[in-house]
């Protein structure tokens, strides 16, 4: 679900310090103990505080909407717009920023504006200096390069990277993206994108008007984290139901925990894929585990943040097979070792080739196959299915009795019966039985993905059976029945 | 990400066994496979080998998964998920770690704590020390490690001794079913050798018991079966 907003997309971020109790929310630090004492916060009375603040911030958003109808509120106090249209209308980006901050200022609110390529850089530009910064088009990488990695919204990574000698975004950007992803998992992948000035996702227009957060009070206070984690799962389900009803899903969620002694622990969790209920609960577990609170938990609140349009039935996808805590923990542990994308769950998809019939979705993500499995796929090979399916077909050679490569004419006529098979460079084996050719013309309307094949099943002397195909004059092994 | 690993591991001080199947320490298997295994199931905490990777490996996990277990498949980038589904192994309860990397043993050890059954194709031949470590992990967590490859010390070894495809001829028909003889041997002198004829797979991809081919004397590893292919349905 990662957005592929190209670098170069110009974004303006407007930031009103009055709503931001500290920079903790943006730098991702745990704001334990300090949050509800409220520095500049308009309303610090706790649970209702944020939604009250969000409602008050609506008046600022309304002013911004006069400049651009599509406003994205990142959280109370920060919103963003795409500058392309409005900058043309208001006479340039600098002029747009000036007029916008003045208009907001007239309503009695002090604000900063930053413009850069991409949301992440624009947010940082807004915080640079008292009034913000305009980073000219194309200069975003240089602007980011000098900033410390601490500006990333990723506590663990920000702790880890400096210990490895990676102090600035420039150094992080210099790592190969694949390397960053494999070394540091999904946060690394995201951080690498951000450091290179790419957006993690496209900007979404306009927040929903209704408050979509969910909360649960504990009375008596929960002395251990387990009940809170258990409740988190149910809360996350409830949150997803509300989002789904609004046609939305979230890629980031804020988890707020309040204790009996007034301490508050708030953390934003972002996920490369969409956050499933289980993924949310898991993050609550991490958050509580990393925190040694002394008093019981009295409130758990989930605030969906960074909404995207729901693309389908992602929550129903796993059906009844929701992994238990124990299974999920093991899977996540392995993801921590190997990287997010290398631990997957298979989802059946449609397609004529065996390798197309399965979609691998990283554990914790949700994925809906583009080609549904429950439709008839003509030319699909009938059961039984092969137990070994090569993602990349093996090169092969199929020859006739006189060692000539077997060919198939345009009218599906064989040059000679196949007699010997050599797969992937191994010694040739005699073919004892065979069937085919079955012509397959796949996506003939699409020159890029189109494929014309003649398919065969072959049995060799060693008892192995193969699914072979002749495509563009080359023999390929697509699967093995073993 | 060393700290990440350490941290996540520390999250499970007391493991939750709520989802673990109860029973006499046995994971159920498909009916056709019962007579191949002592006790008629997969002994929790044990290691079982299946020779080369193939449908037999997938079929071994199917019964347990149908009963609510979770299965991880490690080191098999080309695992046929559709074949697994047809054999009764529900893909919804499967986790794939296609490329476990050089520290694959650590990956397997982590998965054994969480998944009831782990199918592993050995990326390389592990040392005796590494094998003992993984055997200990399987015992500790009560999971079953099914290895495609060689594993001295495995409690059970299954092997496809003889197999014949039916339904396909010289230029006609198609692959319809494979009749296979599976031989199982246990560890220790007291453990007898077991054998069963299976459809591996049958015409719908399921793994079921097959009749012993006529004219086979005994059930030795090489029964001398030399029957011709017998199409189940008239080929067309």
Question: What are the DSSP E strand ranges found in A96-135?
Answer: 112-117
Chain A: give the shortest CA distance to residue B171, in Å. 4
The pLDDT value recorded for residue A29 is 32
Q: CB contact, 8 Å: A156 with chain B?
A: yes
Q: CB contact, 8 Å: B15 with chain A?
A: yes
Return the higher-pLDDT residue of B216 and A198: A198
- Domain match, B63 and B123 both: yes
Mean pLDDT of A14-40: 47
User: Which residue from A minimizes the CA distance to B80?
Assistant: A387
- Domain match, B130 and B187 both: no
Return the minimum-mean-pLDDT range out of A55-59, A331-335, B94-98, B158-162.
A55-59
In this structure, are residues A458 and A431 in contact, taking their beta carbons and an 8 Å threshold?
yes
Position B128 in a domain: yes
In this structure, are residues A8 and A137 in contact, taking their beta carbons and an 8 Å threshold?
yes
Task: Indicate yes or no: CB of B90 within 8 angstroms of CB of A347.
Answer: no
Q: CB contact, 8 Å: B6 with chain A?
A: no
Confidence class for position A27, pLDDT limits 50, 70, 90 = very low
Determine the 3-state secondary structure of A435 from DSSP.
strand
- Domain match, B23 and B137 both: yes
User: Which residue from B minimizes the CA distance to A284?
Assistant: B11
Nearest to A328 by CA among A290, A303, A362, A291: A362
Which domains does chain A show, CATH number per domain? 10-195 (3.30.70.270), 214-311 (3.30.1490.100), 388-481 (no CATH)
- B68: domain CATH number? 3.40.50.300
Question: What is the distance, to the nearest Å, from the Cα of residue A410 to the centroid of all Cα atoms in its chain?
Answer: 45
β-pairing, A451-460 with A465-471?
antiparallel
Chain A: give the shortest CA distance to residue B186, in Å. 23
Confidence class for position B194, pLDDT limits 50, 70, 90 = very high
- Using CB atoms, pick whichever of B10, B82, B95 lies closest to residue A345: B95
**Which residues 289-318 in chain A show a CB within 8 A of chain B?**
289-290, 318
The pLDDT value recorded for residue A26 is 38
Mean pLDDT of A286-294: 63
**Which residues 24-53 in chain B show a CB within 8 A of chain A?**
52-53
- Domain match, B110 and B60 both: yes
Q: What is the mean pLDDT of chain B?
A: 82
Q: Highest-confidence range of A240-254, A326-340, A356-370, B38-52, by mean pLDDT?
A: B38-52
Residue numbers of the domain that contains B197 = 156-209
Chain A: give the shortest CA distance to residue B192, in Å. 26
Give B33's Cβ-side CA count (13 Å radius). Answer: 29
- Domain match, B23 and B130 both: yes
Mean pLDDT of A320-334: 74
Task: Indicate yes or no: CB of B92 within 8 angstroms of CB of A319.
Answer: yes
- Using CB atoms, pick whichever of B18, B83, B85 lies closest to residue A386: B83
In this structure, are residues B78 and B49 in contact, taking their beta carbons and an 8 Å threshold?
no
- Domain match, B166 and B116 both: no
Position B112 in a domain: yes
The pLDDT value recorded for residue A31 is 32
Q: Which residues contact A316 (CB under 8 A, 6 or more apart)?
A: none
What tens digit of pLDDT does each residue of A227-249 get?
A: 787 788 888 888 888 887 777 77
Q: CB contact, 8 Å: A226 with chain B?
A: no
Nearest-angstrom CA–CA distance, A276 and A251: 9
Q: What is the mean pLDDT of chain A?
A: 76
Position B4 in a domain: no
Chain B: give the shortest CA distance to residue A155, in Å. 12
Position B89 in a domain: yes
Position B6 in a domain: no
Mean pLDDT of A352-370: 73
Query: Which residue, B98, B129, B148, sits at the end of a domain?
Result: B148
The pLDDT value recorded for residue A402 is 93
Q: CB contact, 8 Å: B118 with chain A?
A: no
Query: Which residue, B110, B129, B148, sits at the end of a domain?
Result: B148
Decide if pLDDT at B72 tops 90.
Answer: yes
Position B107 in a domain: yes
Count: domains in chain B: 2
In this structure, are residues B127 and B152 in contact, taking their beta carbons and an 8 Å threshold?
no
CB burial of residue A405 (10 Å; 0-12, 13-18, 19+): middle
Sign, CA torsion B63/B68/B73/B79: positive
Q: CB contact, 8 Å: A380 with chain B?
A: no
Position B43 in a domain: yes
Q: CB contact, 8 Å: A329 with chain B?
A: yes
- Domain match, B134 and B162 both: no
The pLDDT value recorded for residue B62 is 95
- Domain match, B44 and B101 both: yes
Mean pLDDT of A368-381: 60
What tens digit of pLDDT does each residue of A98-114 get?
A: 999 999 988 888 899 99
Q: Which residues contact A312 (CB under 8 A, 6 or more apart)?
A: A368
Structure-derived torsion over alpha carbons of residues A41, A44, A46, A47, reported in degrees to the nearest 10: -60
Q: CB contact, 8 Å: B114 with chain A?
A: yes
The pLDDT value recorded for residue B58 is 97
Mean pLDDT of A247-265: 78
Sign, CA torsion B61/B66/B67/B70: positive
Confidence class for position A270, pLDDT limits 50, 70, 90 = low
Determine the 3-state secondary structure of A117 from DSSP.
strand
Quick one: angle between helices B104-112 and B128-141, nearest 10?
A: 20
Q: Residue B197: enclosing H or E segment and its boundaries?
A: strand B194-199
Quick one: what percent of chain B has pLDDT higher than 90? 71
Chain B: give the shortest CA distance to residue A71, in Å. 36
Name the phi and psi angles at A41, rounded to 5. Answer: -70, 135
Nearest-angstrom CA–CA distance, A270 and A124: 18
Mean pLDDT of B141-164: 94
- Domain match, B138 and B182 both: no
Task: Indicate yes or no: CB of A383 within 8 angstroms of CB of B163.
Answer: no
Q: CB contact, 8 Å: A340 with chain B?
A: no
Question: Which residues in chain B have their CB less than 8 angstroms from residue A353's CB?
Answer: none
Quick one: what percent of chain B has pLDDT higher than 70? 79
- Using CB atoms, pick whichever of B86, B103, B173 lies closest to residue A384: B86
Quick one: what percent of chain A has pLDDT higher than 90? 19
Nearest-angstrom CA–CA distance, B17 and B13: 12
- Domain match, B67 and B179 both: no
- Domain match, B39 and B125 both: yes
Position B66 in a domain: yes
β-pairing, B144-148 with B47-49?
parallel
Decide if pLDDT at B63 tops 80.
Answer: yes
What tens digit of pLDDT does each residue of A29-81 get?
A: 333 333 333 333 333 333 334 445 555 676 787 788 788 866 776 676 888 88
The pLDDT value recorded for residue B1 is 37
Query: Cα–Cα–Cα angle for A164, A166, A169, nearest 5°?
Result: 155
Q: CB contact, 8 Å: A337 with chain B?
A: yes
Suggest the residue from A384, A390, A435 to mutate for an interface test with chain B (most B CBs closer than 10 A): A384
Query: Which residue, B148, B176, B195, sits at the end of a domain?
Result: B148
Decide if pLDDT at B225 tops 80.
Answer: no
In this structure, are residues A109 and A141 in contact, taking their beta carbons and an 8 Å threshold?
no
**Which residues 215-234 in chain B show a CB within 8 A of chain A?**
229
Decide if pLDDT at B189 tops 90.
Answer: no
- Domain match, B169 and B110 both: no
User: Which residue from B minimizes the CA distance to A341?
Assistant: B97
């Amino acid at each position: 679900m990662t957005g592929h907003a190209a670098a170069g997309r110009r974004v303006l971020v407007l930031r009103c310090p009055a709503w931001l109790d500290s920079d903790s929310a943006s730098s991702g630090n745990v704001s334990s103990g300090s949050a509800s004492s409220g520095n500049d916060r308009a309303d610090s009375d706790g649970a209702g505080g944020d939604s009250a603040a969000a409602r008050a911030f609506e008046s600022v958003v309304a002013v911004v909407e006069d400049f651009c109808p599509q406003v994205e509120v990142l959280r109370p106090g920060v919103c963003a717009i795409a500058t392309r249209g409005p900058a043309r209308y208001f006479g340039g980006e600098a002029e747009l920023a000036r007029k916008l901050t003045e208009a907001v200022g007239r309503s009695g609110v002090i604000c900063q504006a930053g413009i850069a390529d991409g949301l992440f850089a624009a947010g940082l530009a807004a915080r640079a200096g008292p009034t913000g910064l305009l980073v000219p088009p194309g200069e975003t990488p240089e602007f980011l390069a000098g900033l410390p990695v601490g500006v990333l919204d990723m506590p663990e990574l920000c702790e880890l990277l400096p210990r490895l000698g990676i102090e600035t975004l420039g150094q992080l950007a210099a790592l190969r993206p694949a390397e960053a992803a494999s070394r540091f998992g999904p946060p690394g992948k995201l951080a690498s994108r951000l450091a290179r000035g790419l957006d993690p996702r496209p900007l979404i227009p306009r927040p929903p008007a209704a408050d979509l957060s969910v909360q649960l009070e504990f009375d008596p206070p929960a002395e251990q984290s387990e009940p809170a984690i258990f409740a988190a799962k149910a809360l996350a389900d409830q949150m997803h139901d509300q989002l789904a009803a609004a046609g939305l899903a979230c890629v980031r969620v804020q988890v707020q925990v309040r204790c009996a002694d007034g301490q508050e622990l708030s953390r934003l969790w972002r996920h490369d894929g969409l956050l499933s209920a289980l993924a949310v609960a898991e993050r609550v577990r991490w958050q509580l585990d990393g925190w040694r609170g002394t008093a019981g938990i009295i409130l758990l609140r989930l605030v969906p943040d960074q909404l995207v349009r729901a693309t389908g039935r992602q929550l129903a996808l796993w059906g009844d097979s929701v992994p238990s805590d124990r299974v999920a923990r093991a899977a996540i542990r392995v993801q921590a070792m190997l990287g997010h994308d290398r631990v997957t769950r298979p989802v059946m998809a449609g397609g004529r080739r065996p390798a197309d019939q399965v979609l691998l979705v990283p554990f914790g993500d949700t994925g809906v196959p583009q080609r549904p499995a429950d439709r008839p796929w003509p030319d699909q090979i009938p059961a039984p299915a092969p137990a070994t399916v090569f993602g990349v077909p093996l090169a092969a050679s199929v020859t006739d009795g006189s060692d000539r490569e077997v060919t198939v004419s345009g009218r599906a006529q064989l040059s000679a019966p196949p007699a010997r098979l050599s797969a992937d460079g191994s010694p040739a084996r005699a073919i004892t039985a065979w069937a085919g050719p079955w012509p397959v013309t796949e996506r003939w309307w699409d020159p890029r993905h189109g494929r014309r094949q003649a398919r065969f099943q072959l049995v060799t002397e060693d008892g192995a059976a193969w699914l072979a195909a002749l495509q563009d004059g080359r023999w390929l092994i697509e699967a093995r029945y073993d | 990400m060393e700290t990440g690993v350490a941290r996540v591991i520390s999250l499970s001080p007391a493991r939750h066994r709520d989802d673990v199947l109860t029973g006499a320490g046995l994971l159920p298997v498909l009916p056709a496979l019962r007579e191949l295994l002592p006790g008629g199931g997969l002994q929790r905490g044990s290691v079982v080998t299946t020779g080369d990777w193939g449908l037999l490996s997938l079929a071994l996990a199917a019964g347990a998964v149908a009963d609510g277990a979770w299965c991880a498949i490690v080191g098999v980038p080309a695992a046929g998920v559709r074949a697994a589904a047809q054999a009764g192994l529900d893909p919804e309860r499967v986790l794939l770690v296609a490329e476990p990397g050089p520290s694959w043993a650590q990956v397997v050890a982590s998965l054994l704590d969480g998944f009831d059954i782990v199918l592993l194709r050995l990326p390389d031949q592990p040392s005796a020390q590494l094998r003992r470590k993984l055997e200990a992990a399987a015992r500790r967590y009560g999971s079953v490690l099914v290895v495609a490859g060689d594993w001295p010390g495995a409690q059970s070894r299954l092997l496809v001794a003889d197999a014949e495809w039916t339904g396909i001829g010289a230029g006609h028909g198609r692959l319809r079913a494979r009749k296979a003889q599976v031989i199982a041997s246990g560890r220790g002198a007291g453990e007898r050798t077991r054998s069963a004829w299976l459809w591996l797979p049958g015409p719908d991809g399921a793994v079921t018991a097959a009749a012993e081919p006529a004219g086979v004397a005994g059930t030795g590893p090489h029964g001398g079966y030399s029957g011709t292919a017998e199409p189940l349905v008239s080929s067309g």
